[in-house]
Amino acid sequence: MSLAIIMPERNGQGLAERLWALDADLDIQIWPQLERPEDVRFAVCWAPPAGALQSLPQLDVVQSLGAGVDGLAQQIPIGVRLCRTVSPSLKSDMRDYVLLSILAEQRQWDAMAKDQAKHHWQPRHYRRGGTVGIMGLGELGQAVASGLAALGFTLKGWSRTPKELDGVQCFDGPAQLGAFLGELDYLVCLLPLTDQTRGLMDRDFFQRLGKAPYLIHAGRGPQLVESDLLAALDNQWLRGACLDVFHQEPLPAGHPFWAHPRIRITPHCASVTSGKELAKAVYHNYLAMRQGLALNHLVDTTQEY
Q: Is 268 a catalytic residue?
A: yes
Residue 113 Cα distances to 144, 219, 256, angstroms: 27, 27, 21
For residue 211, give every residue at least 6 positions away whose Cβ sits within 8 Å of its Cβ, in sequence order, or none: 183, 184, 185
- Residue among 220, 239, 255, 262 flagged as catalytic: 220
Q: Is 95 a catalytic residue?
A: no
CB 237 within 8 A of CB 209: yes
Q: How far apart (Å, rounded) are the C-alpha atoms in residues 282 and 6?
A: 13
- Beta carbons within 10 angstroms of residue 81's beta carbon: 17
Q: How far apart (Å, rounded) are the C-alpha atoms in residues 217 and 61?
A: 30
- Residue among 268, 284, 290, 297 flagged as catalytic: 268
Helix residue spans in 119-191 (DSSP H): 139-150, 177-181
For residue 185, give every residue at least 6 positions away whose Cβ sits within 8 Å of its Cβ, in sequence order, or none: 127, 130, 131, 132, 211, 213, 214
Residue 120 Cα distances to 105, 110, 207, 235, angstroms: 20, 14, 37, 30
Active-site residues, by number, are 220, 268
